[in-house]
Structures are given as structure tokens and as C-alpha cells.
Structure 1
Amino acid sequence: MTEAHEYTVDLNWQHDRKGSMSSPVLNTKIEVATPPEFPKGMPGIWSPEHLFVASVCSCLMTTFLAIAENSKLEFIAFDCNAKGILAKKDGKFQITEIHLYPTLTIPSTEKEERAERILDKSEHHCLISNSIHSKISMETTIKVG
């Protein structure tokens, strides 16, 4: 893997407080808007705040998948809920905290400690989490199924 990568995103304003996001290397466009908590916000559309929290959550998953594969950890399912807290800090709004709630289903209890260690390692190595100032916390659930 090279040392630097570039990710390009294009955004086009549509109307009101809504735009359409795309990338030259992706097929799907995403509508994005001001969230309804703000003046003229639009419900039911992805907001920058949702995408910010989603980037941390999805990075945890992709980092976990890579580490689990390299560690040969067998698992049945991985799910994660995430919650971002938007608050004023030093007079500016920012996402101050992101809480991650991953649930990992493994085939047997004998790999439970190892699974927990790999999830912790995944959180530690998540490049998005390592790129932001928000406090990241993780509450893991391991299931046997």
C-alpha cells in the first residue's frame, strides 16, 4: 500500500438546503442536506453530521474485517450502531463524542477473548477515528451463535 491516497468528492447544490454528492469513481449519488435540528433543515436526508458518524462506524467495520481476516478470526456476523453527540465547545458546534456499539457474533465461546482483542485493535487502528478530535468510545457485545 502506498503512503498517500486521494479521495475525490463532488457536491452540487440542488435547492433550499440540499445538495447531491458523488465521486468520479463511484456509481451512487447521495443526497445531503442540513439536518432538521437546524433552521430550514430537511428530515429524511443524510446530513454531514450523519455522514461524519457513519465514516467512523464504517471505518471500524472495514478495519475489523481486515484485521479479522489477517488474524484468521472466524465470525458469523458484525453489526454496529453509532451515535454522535453534537455540542457547542469553545463557542463552536462540533461532534464532541462518537459512541460505537459493535456486536460481533462468533461460532464458539472459546474465541471470545480473541474477538474482543481484535475489536479493540480495530478501534485503535481506525484511520478515520485517528484523524478527528471527537472522543471515541466503544461498547462491544460478543454473541455466540
Structure 2
Amino acid sequence: MAHGEHKYQTTVEWTGNRGTGTSAYRDYGRDHVIRSGQKPEIPGSSDPSFLGDPVRWNPEELLLASVSACHKLWYLHLCSEAGIAVLAYVDDAEGTMIDRAGPGRFTEIVLRPQVTIRAGDDQEKAYHLHHVAHEKCYIANSVNFPILCEPTIVTA
């Protein structure tokens, strides 16, 4: 694994000008496109509560997906090192955000990974490695709200 400083680059281009720009709150679209190198574009918008397009990804969903994906990647890595064969992994993650007077913010994320491991592998260790993955997750270590993990481990 490479250590040191890693830099990332994305481009977010607003595509919601309906002809008069941001002349009024309801006069512009929240749509944008997220790009990075040669990767597929991600169609973005705001949450529908903030006049966004419900079929496009919003920043809150992307944050939740980033936390979930980072945890999963660390977990798979740790299991491979521990001799635990993960055969399937699905996380139905949920995030809670408050939007009240003052700045809105996430108050928590709950990860609910459902993991299938090879028959005969150590189920207790597979469960414990979720805690280690959480401690190592770059995204989890970068946010200021709790991230809980409620894993389910089954054997094939």
C-alpha cells in the first residue's frame, strides 16, 4: 500500500442555467455533472427538498456512498489478510442530516453491511474486522459525526 500524500481532482460543472442564471431562487436548476479523468460522468443535483432532480445524485448521497464504499474496501482488505473469504457484501447504509436554523449537517451514518463468508471461516473475527475497518477508513476519519456499523455475518 502506498503511503504519503495523495491528491485527487474532480470537476463539477453546473448545467442548470435556464437562461437567466441565478436571477431568483426558483429560476435556476441545481443540475451539474461531476467528472474526473476518463471515468464515467456522474449526473448530480441537489436533494429534491432543495429543488433538485430526484433521479440525479445529490451531495448527501455521495457522502453516504463514500463512507460505505471506503468501509467496504478496508473490510475486504482486512478479511483477505486474515484468511477470511468474503463471498458477498451489500451495505444498506443510512445517513441522517438536520437542516434547521444555522448550518445543516449530518448527525450520523449507520452502515448495515450484510456479509457472506466462506463456510468454516471465523465468523467472530469477520465481525470484529468491521471495527478495525472503521478505525482505518479514510473517509470516516475525515468527518465530524458518528458512523455506526451494524454488520450481519452469514456463512455460505
If the length of structure 2 is used for normalisation, what is the TM-score?
Answer: 0.86
Which blocks of at least 5 consecutive residues in structure 1 are unaligned? Answer: none
Instruction: Please name the residue that 1:4 is paired with.
Output: 5
Aligned counterparts, 1:94-133, within 5 A: 94-108=105-119, 111-133=122-144
Q: Residue 57 of structure 1: CA displacement?
A: 0.3
| Match status 1:74 vs 2:85 | yes
1:57-115 deviation digits (Å, cap 9, x = unpaired): 00011111111122221121111111110114772101111010011111226511110
More strand by share: 1
| Match status 1:136 vs 2:143 | no
RMSD of the alignment, in Å? 1.5
| Match status 1:64 vs 2:57 | no
Larger Rg: 2
Runs of 4+ in structure 1 displaced over 4 angstroms?
A: none
Task: Check the 8 A contact 2:85/2:121 in 1, yes or no.
Answer: no
1:93-143 deviation digits (Å, cap 9, x = unpaired): 011110100111112265111101112211121110010012111111011
Q: 1:128 to 1:89 in 2, by over 3 A?
A: farther
Write the distance in 1 (CA, Å) between the matches of 2:55 and 2:150.
27
If the length of structure 1 is used for normalisation, what is the TM-score?
Answer: 0.92
Which blocks of at least 5 consecutive residues in structure 2 are unaligned? Answer: 17-28
1:17-50 deviation digits (Å, cap 9, x = unpaired): 10000012x4210011011012x22111100000
Percent identity over paired residues: 28
Instruction: Please name the residue that 1:34 is paired with.
Output: 46
SS of residue in 2 equivalent to 1:76: strand
Report the count of equivalent residues. Answer: 143
Q: 1:130 to 1:89 in 2, by over 3 A?
A: farther
Instruction: Please name the residue that 1:23 is paired with.
Output: 36
| Match status 1:14 vs 2:15 | yes
Write the distance in 1 (CA, Å) between the matches of 2:133 and 2:114.
13
